[in-house]
Amino acid sequence: MGKKILTYLNPIAQLGHTEYSLSFPLLINATAYLLSEIYVYNIVGNEGLVGTYIIFVSVALIIYFAFRDGIRGGLLSTATAVTYYLYILYSREYTGMRLISGLETTAILGFMFSLMALTIGWLKQTIDQLIIREKHARYEAEEGKVQLQTILQQLPVGVLLINKKDGTLDGNKHMEKIIGSKIPKYLTAENNGRPHFAFKNNIRMLSKEWPIVRALSKGEVVAGEEIEFLRRDKRKIYLRVNAAPIKNNNKEIIAAVSTLYDITQEKDLERRKDDFINMASHELKTPITSMKLYIEMLLRWSKSTKNERLLKMIHTIKNQTERLQELVNDLLDVSRIQTGKLYFNKSKFNLTDLITEAIELLQPTTRNQEIIFDTKRKFTVFADRFRLYQVLTNLITNASKYSPEGSDIILKVQTKDKKVIVSVKDFGIGIGKDQQKKIFDRLYQVPDITEKTFPGLGMGLYISREIIKRHKGNIWVKGKVGSGSTFYFSLPTVQ
Ligand code: ADP
């Protein structure tokens, strides 16, 4: 109770409160002047001393109330003081010069007191506003923090945060679920900087190679990096990791955040799919080889029978079997790429000759499309001839497949920056910008809006890209939907 009264009376304790009272200053002022009237006049009696004393009381009350109740409190105290001075003039029956000088003094004091009340009151109210604003900001920041924490905890991905100042870690529940243990207080590595639980392609990562550490120390933004993680229970899981630095207003890195997705199941499925492709293509290879053998024998035999219908049918079977074999070969290649078993047999040869050869073989298979190539210059490359032939075949057959009957296909070779660049241009359906990167992905085919279907499985460009990449070259495409495409690939030149 006593403490409550003290708080109520203490103007400092009232800072930040904007319920300025009018009744309390009025009550205290009135009481003070009433006491003065009784005590000072009746007991002290000396007028000079009394004047000084009363002014002192007024100043004290005005300062106190301006500081406690703002401008209103100060002005109310000023008004009470002036009223009391006027009462003195009236009750002591001042007349003439004394009355005039008394009124003048009262007016001057009233003016000064008002000024003082306004200044102190304004100061007090400004401080109050500042305190309230600061309280509000703090409240909002805390509210934001709570909201963020809740979102963080509810996210279905692992979130890891690292503080730059002291290196402490924080994270959400899902993160603990992924790693199968509590989030440690600090990132830990072994002495040589190689932690025992993070791997990339089966090789132990250095701690400075972790996405979150790169984001923290170099400000790197990491997107979709795949790493392996060995849990405490010895289970190896696959993670897709993103990381980004967190900066303050001065653009200094103060922390880093990383999100982690457990893609173990996805990886497992992918591996099983690869295993299946591998097995299926191997299983299909043997029967096709023997089928081809028997077809050749049948062909020879049917030629002697001179039965035209039979001969035509066997030719159709032969063509279809060859197509089947090409598909199986592509499947095998995809599987070799996936398992890192695509090998090359490189030699030096003239690329111009190879292109001419490919065109001679493919020209009869196009639908009245002329393949134009008039380069005679020699371009020596060091590559796997058979595999490059495969790339050329793929690009030319695609150019033919995705273009109208009777249109031209133009091939060119040029050198630029110590590279040979081959281009295959067609005047067909073209490829949209958004698809131009994706078509080189495994099994990717451009979704067809016209519902016109083209045969194929989307393996050719994937295999071609891998072949070119492994020759230290590049493969890309330019063009627009409806106005044809130009495919390019580059290879290092050889003297
Ligand atoms: P496939 O032709 O067997 O479907 P590819 O890997 O060779 O597989 O090609 C992938 C996809 O790229 C094709 O399905 C097609 O949508 C697109 N594409 C390839 N070449 C061309 C081209 N010359 N013009 C238009 N689209 C093409």
- Whole-angstrom Cα distance, residue 13 to residue 7? 6
- Cβ–Cβ < 8 Å for 334, 372: no
**Full DSSP string of 359-405:** HHHHGGGSSS--EE----S--EEEEEHHHHHHHHHHHHHHHHHTS-T
- Whole-angstrom Cα distance, residue 197 to residue 146? 32
Return the structure tokens found at 382: 């060091």
- Whole-angstrom Cα distance, residue 303 to residue 318? 14
58 lines ligand 1 (CB under 6 A): no
Question: Taking Cα atoms as reference points, which of 4, 64, 54 lies closest to residue 28?
Answer: 64
Predicted confidence (pLDDT) at residue 451 exceeds the cutoff of 60 = no
What is the layout of strands, in order, in the sheet containing 474-479? 371-372, 409-416, 419-425, 485-492, 474-479
- Cβ–Cβ < 8 Å for 210, 244: no
409 lines ligand 1 (CB under 6 A): no
What crossing angle do the helices spanning 264-305 and 308-338 adopt, rounded to 10°? 160
Scan for tokens 């081809």, then name that residue. Answer: 292
Question: pLDDT tens-digit profile of 258-275?
Answer: 999 999 999 999 889 888
Per-residue confidence band for 325, with pLDDT thresholds at 50, 70 and 90: very high
In the chain, % of residues over pLDDT 70: 97
In 3-state terms, what secondary structure has residue 424?
strand
160 lines ligand 1 (CB under 6 A): no
Predicted confidence (pLDDT) at residue 111 exceeds the cutoff of 90 = yes
24 lines ligand 1 (CB under 6 A): no
pLDDT for 486: 97
Instruction: Output the CA 399–ligand 1 centroid distance in Å.
Output: 8
Average pLDDT of the chain, as a whole number: 91
Length of the chain: 495
Predicted confidence (pLDDT) at residue 390 exceeds the cutoff of 80 = yes
Q: Which of 80-94, 292-306, 340-354, 442-456 has the lowest mean pLDDT?
A: 442-456
Going by the DSSP 8-state scheme, the letter that residue 1 receives in this structure is -
pLDDT for 479: 94
- Whole-angstrom Cα distance, residue 110 to residue 91? 19
How far is CA 263 from each of CA 199, 224, 268, 269, rounded to the nearest angstrom? 15, 11, 9, 10
Question: Taking Cα atoms as reference points, which of 201, 177, 172, 197 lies closest to residue 187?
Answer: 197
- Cβ–Cβ < 8 Å for 401, 424: no
Instruction: Output the CA 455–ligand 1 centroid distance in Å.
Output: 10
- Whole-angstrom Cα distance, residue 295 to residue 318? 6
Question: Taking Cα atoms as reference points, which of 104, 63, 66 lies closest to residue 85?
Answer: 104
pLDDT for 7: 82
pLDDT for 449: 62
Single-letter amino acid code for the residue at 197? F
Question: pLDDT tens-digit profile of 33-61?
Answer: 998 888 776 766 666 677 788 899 999 99
- Whole-angstrom Cα distance, residue 132 to residue 486? 67
Atom of ligand 1 nearest to the CA of 484: 24
> What are the backbone dihedrals phi and psi of residue 226, each rounded to the nearest 5 degrees, phi first?
-100, 125
pLDDT for 450: 63
Nearest CA to ligand 1 atom 3: 456
The CB-side HSE value for 439 (13 A sphere, CA atoms) comes to 22
Single-letter amino acid code for the residue at 324? L
Among 402, 441, 466, 467, say which to mutate for ligand 1: greatest number of ligand atoms within 8 Å of CB.
Answer: 402
Nearest CA to ligand 1 atom 16: 446
- Whole-angstrom Cα distance, residue 485 to residue 476? 10
Question: pLDDT tens-digit profile of 75-107?
Answer: 999 999 999 999 988 888 888 898 999 999 999
Instruction: Output the CA 403–ligand 1 centroid distance in Å.
Output: 11
In 3-state terms, what secondary structure has residue 66?
helix
The pTM assigned to this predicted structure is 0.61
Contact partners, residue 312, CB within 8 Å, separation at least 6: none
486 strand-pairing partners: 425, 478
439 lines ligand 1 (CB under 6 A): yes
Instruction: Output the CA 323–ligand 1 centroid distance in Å.
Output: 17
Per-residue confidence band for 401, with pLDDT thresholds at 50, 70 and 90: very high
pLDDT for 452: 59
- Whole-angstrom Cα distance, residue 227 to residue 198? 7
